[in-house]
């Protein structure tokens, strides 16, 4: 087996991974840094983010205001020390990206322009038209080329190597050759993104299968707050393509089948012609997605061949504003819906978008396993609490990518060379992967069929509204799918670019995460943010002002423990929007 070694190894080459890689290189130029990613970095899902990235820059804004919006938006589940660090370092990180060449949209005088965003009391969302994630990712990728980092592009990590209680490397499949390699490292940072593909209808790319979450989980690291799954209120039907919140911050309306701005019926304020901050269409995503379900129940949505929708109306913004501020929205509507939003209504419905939960880390990105770090959507620091605000996640991957890079660099510099026992573990893993490829000759189950069933179980049991009955049913179905997964069939026995073996590994990861999501949701008998239990409709700070930690254990469901939320200056209060 081929073995290489580096000082710090990044798993995942999206926004957080590239930012972390640069941070390591800058913190300690003597360290040898490598990035291993299952896709070329510019394909990572950061590329799809549209609306913008939040950081205080206007003179009438303040760090406290950004912190308060984030904390109340997260229904008081955010760790406030983490949020304070986040808002404090956000602006410098965004400026750094400007210095690296990110094409931020500008005011006429050349200063950075900002736009309003959902749940934000001030205008603080930096944007690059409506392709913010695309420009941030390409800027990071291109800048990272300066640092001569070793890139393992299209390598899929299957296992963390843990010896003497420390994470000391990984095992990966090189897709092009099918060969199994061990890559040893003094520190490993997971930056693999979220797991939207656990659900059937999602804005997430096909690659968002939660690989890093599953790697950490199997290595004994708990997953935090997995019950909090964000539905974005405006996805295109059938494709699930995201229509950015910026459509609403620029002044778009959400209307039901009667042309009525229905959000006024859900304690989100009164309809005004111009957008009002923290009100109506600029409410938080959880509340807007929940309002859609209520409209559906009242029979006020529009039926289409691809499910019920409401309409997003941006016609009154006019062609000029749409082409300057929202050109990608127009491109997407024309290409994927055959409609022009300058003249027509956009059909939209809630769509799984983001995992608030993830690998449990401290505010430096460190996990409970020494040598293992995590940043970006894969991690739960937690700044997002029970509901992330739009435009905080792009900033998060910069701030916590940089933080974890610095922390991992410091840790790696203090470690001895990786231990000798790792190779035996790697050979074990090579044997297992060989069996995946060859041992499925008589399998009966198609991978895609099992994946579809898992996604269906999650949508019906653990969607926007859940209760004990729906979650228990989902748990039963997922357990049954896990059993059948043992006889999943592979058509592809070759080593060269075998994407089916990868799909098998991804599904095994997603099934683990599905169990963790369901178990965490079952245990939390209250309603908070994106976690709405119809059998426990109230928030219960007495019992649940605490993060859930899902621990994996063989031969049974996950074990759930709780960790108190860190409160510094904002005691729990009511979430108030539009009044």
Partner 1 sequence: MASSITLQIRRYRPEDEREPVWESFEVPDRPEWMVLDGLNYIKDRLDGSLSYRWACRMGVCGSCGMVVNGKPVLTCATYLSALGPDPVRVEPIKGFPVIRDLVVDIEDFVRKLESVKPWIIREKEKPLSEGEYLQTPEQLAEYKQQAMCINCLLCYSACPIYALEPDFIGPAAIALAQRYNLDSRDEGTEERMDILSQHEGIWCCTFVGECSVVCPKDVDPAGAIQRYKVKATTDWFKSVLLPWGKR
Q: How many CB atoms lie within 10 A of CB 335?
A: 10
Among 128-136, 393-401, 454-462, 566-574, the segment contacting partner 1 (CB under 8 A): 128-136
* C-beta of 105 vs 548, nearer to partner 1: 105
Smallest distance from partner 1 to CB 94, Å: 9
Smallest distance from partner 1 to CB 175, Å: 9
Gyration radius of the chain over CA positions: 23
Q: How many CB atoms lie within 10 A of CB 331?
A: 12
* C-beta of 60 vs 491, nearer to partner 1: 491
CA distance 495 to 556: 34
487 contributes a contact to partner 1 by CB under 8 A: no
Q: How many CB atoms lie within 10 A of CB 324?
A: 12
* C-beta of 437 vs 474, nearer to partner 1: 437
Smallest distance from partner 1 to CB 415, Å: 30
* C-beta of 131 vs 278, nearer to partner 1: 131
446 contributes a contact to partner 1 by CB under 8 A: yes
* C-beta of 196 vs 418, nearer to partner 1: 196
Smallest distance from partner 1 to CB 411, Å: 25
CA distance 286 to 386: 9
Out of 1, 26, 29, 142, the residue judged to bind partner 1 by CB under 8 A: 142
Near partner 1 in 182-211, by CB under 8 A: 205-207
Near partner 1 in 507-566, by CB under 8 A: none
* C-beta of 115 vs 287, nearer to partner 1: 115
Smallest distance from partner 1 to CB 488, Å: 10
Out of 63, 293, 495, 567, the residue judged to bind partner 1 by CB under 8 A: 495
CA distance 207 to 370: 27
CB 381 within 8 A of CB 82: yes
Smallest distance from partner 1 to CB 239, Å: 7
Applying CB under 8 A, the site for partner 1 has a residue count of: 63
Smallest distance from partner 1 to CB 47, Å: 5
497 contributes a contact to partner 1 by CB under 8 A: yes
Smallest distance from partner 1 to CB 202, Å: 10
Instruction: Please provide the DSSP assignment of 270-325 as one string.
Output: ---SS--TTSGGGS-HHHHHHHHHHHHHTT-SEEETTEEEEEEE-GGGHHHHHHHH
Q: Which residues does residue 157 pair with via DSSP β-bridges, in sequence order?
A: 172
309 contributes a contact to partner 1 by CB under 8 A: no
499 contributes a contact to partner 1 by CB under 8 A: yes
Q: What binding mask, one character per residue, do residues 211-250 give for partner 1 by CB under 8 A, x or -? A: ---------------------------xx-xx--------
Out of 45, 159, 477, 552, the residue judged to bind partner 1 by CB under 8 A: 45
* Residues in the chain, total: 579
CA 485 to chain centre: 26
* C-beta of 197 vs 360, nearer to partner 1: 197
CB 136 within 8 A of CB 10: no
Out of 492, 525, 551, 557, the residue judged to bind partner 1 by CB under 8 A: 492
Smallest distance from partner 1 to CB 144, Å: 9
State the virtual CA torsion across 469, 470, 472, 473 in degrees, nearest 10.
Answer: 110
* C-beta of 175 vs 521, nearer to partner 1: 175
CB 198 within 8 A of CB 513: yes
Q: Which residues are catalytic?
A: 232, 248
Q: What binding mask, one character per residue, do residues 364-403 give for partner 1 by CB under 8 A, x or -? A: ----------------------------------------
CA distance 301 to 294: 10
* C-beta of 108 vs 273, nearer to partner 1: 108
Instruction: Please provide the DSSP assignment of 35-98 as one string.
Output: EEESS-GGGSGGGG--S-EE---STT--HHHHHHHHHHHTTT-S-HHHHHHHHHHHHHHHHHHH
Smallest distance from partner 1 to CB 575, Å: 32
- 183 sits in which H/E element: strand 180-190
59 contributes a contact to partner 1 by CB under 8 A: no
* C-beta of 99 vs 320, nearer to partner 1: 99
Smallest distance from partner 1 to CB 87, Å: 16
494 contributes a contact to partner 1 by CB under 8 A: yes
- Show the tokens assigned to 524: 């939390």
Which of 129, 140, 75 lies closest to 104, judged by CA?
129
CA distance 394 to 16: 9
Instruction: Please provide the DSSP assignment of 393-450 as one string.
Output: HHHHHHHHHHHHHHHHHHHHHT--SPPTTHHHHHHHHHHHHHHHHHTTTT--EEHHHH
Peptide bond into 18 cis (omega under 30): no
Out of 4, 5, 48, 566, the residue judged to bind partner 1 by CB under 8 A: 48
Q: What binding mask, one character per residue, do residues 328-357 give for partner 1 by CB under 8 A, x or -? A: x--xx--xx---------------------
Among 64-72, 134-142, 307-315, 460-468, the segment contacting partner 1 (CB under 8 A): 134-142
Which of 189, 217, 190 lies closest to 27, judged by CA?
189
* C-beta of 235 vs 390, nearer to partner 1: 235
Q: Tokens 């050759």 map to which residue? A: 177
Q: What binding mask, one character per residue, do residues 96-115 give for partner 1 by CB under 8 A, x or -? A: x-xxxx-xxxx-xxxxx---
Q: Is 545 exposed, middle or buried (0-12, 13-18, 19+ CB in 10 A)?
A: middle
54 contributes a contact to partner 1 by CB under 8 A: no
Instruction: Please provide the DSSP assignment of 150-173 as one string.
Output: EEEETEEEEEEEEETTEEEEEEEE
Which residues here bind partner 1, judged by CB under 8 A? Answer: 39-40, 42-45, 47-48, 92, 95-96, 98-101, 103-106, 108-112, 131, 134-135, 138, 142-143, 145-146, 153, 176, 205-207, 238-239, 241-242, 306, 328, 331-332, 335-336, 446-449, 489-492, 494-500, 503
């Amino acid at each position: 087996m081929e073995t290489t070694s580096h000082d710090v190894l990044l798993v995942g080459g999206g926004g957080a991974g590239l930012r972390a890689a640069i941070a390591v290189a800058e913190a300690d130029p003597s360290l040898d840094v490598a990035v291993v990613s299952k896709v070329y970095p510019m394909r990572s899902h950061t590329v799809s983010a549209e609306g913008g990235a939040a950081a205080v820059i206007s003179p009438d804004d303040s760090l406290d205001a950004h912190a308060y919006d984030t904390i109340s938006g997260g229904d008081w589940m955010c760790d406030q020390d983490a949020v304070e660090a986040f808002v404090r370092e956000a602006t410098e990180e965004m400026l750094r990206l400007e210095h690296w060449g990110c094409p931020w949209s500008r005011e006429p005088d050349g200063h950075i322009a900002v736009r309003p965003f959902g749940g934000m009391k001030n205008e603080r969302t930096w944007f690059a038209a409506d392709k913010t994630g695309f420009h941030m990712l390409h800027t990071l990728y291109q800048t990272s080329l300066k640092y001569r980092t070793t890139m393992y592009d299209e390598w899929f990590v299957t296992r963390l190597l843990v010896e003497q209680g420390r994470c000391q490397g990984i095992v990966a499949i090189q897709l092009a050759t099918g060969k199994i390699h061990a890559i040893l490292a003094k520190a490993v940072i997971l930056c693999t993104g979220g797991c939207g593909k656990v659900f059937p209808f999602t804005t997430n790319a096909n690659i968002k299968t939660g690989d890093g979450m599953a790697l950490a989980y199997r290595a004994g690291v708990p997953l935090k707050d997995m019950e909090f799954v964000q539905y974005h209120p405006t996805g295109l039907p059938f494709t699930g393509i995201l229509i950015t919140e910026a459509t609403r911050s620029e002044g778009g309306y959400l209307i039901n089948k009667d042309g009525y701005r229905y959000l006024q019926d859900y304690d989100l304020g009164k309809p005004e012609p111009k957008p009002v901050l923290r009100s109506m269409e600029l409410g938080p995503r959880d509340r807007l997605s929940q309002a859609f379900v209520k409209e559906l129940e009242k029979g006020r949505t529009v039926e289409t061949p691809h499910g019920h929708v409401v309409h997003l109306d941006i016609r009154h913004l006019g062609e000029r504003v749409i082409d300057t501020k929202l050109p990608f929205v127009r491109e997407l509507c024309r290409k994927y819906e055959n409609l022009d939003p300058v003249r027509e209504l956009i059909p939209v419905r809630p769509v799984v978008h983001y995992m608030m939960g993830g690998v449990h880390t401290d505010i430096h990105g460190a996990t409970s396993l020494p040598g293992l770090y995590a940043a970006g959507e894969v991690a739960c620091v937690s700044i997002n609490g029970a509901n992330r605000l739009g435009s905080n996640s792009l900033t998060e991957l910069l701030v916590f990518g940089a933080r974890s890079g610095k922390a991992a660099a410091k840790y790696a510099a203090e470690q001895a060379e990786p231990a000798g026992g790792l190779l035996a573990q790697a050979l074990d893993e090579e044997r297992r992967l060989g069996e995946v490829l060859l041992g499925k000759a008589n399998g009966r189950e198609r991978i895609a069929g099992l994946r579809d069933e898992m996604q269906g179980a999650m949508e019906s049991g653990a969607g926007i509204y859940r209760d004990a009955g729906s979650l228990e049913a989902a748990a039963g179905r997922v357990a049954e799918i896990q059993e059948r997964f043992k006889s999943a069939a592979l058509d592809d026995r070759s080593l060269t670019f075998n994407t089916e073996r990868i799909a098998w590994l991804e599904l095994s990861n997603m099934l683990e995460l599905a169990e963790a999501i369901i178990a965490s949701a079952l245990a939390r008998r209250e309603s908070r943010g994106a976690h709405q239990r119809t059998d426990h409709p109230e928030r219960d700070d007495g019992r649940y002002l605490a993060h859930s930690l899902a621990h994996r254990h063989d031969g049974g469901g996950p074990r759930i423990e709780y960790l108190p939320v860190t409160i510094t200056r904002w005691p729990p209060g009511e979430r108030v929007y539009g009044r």
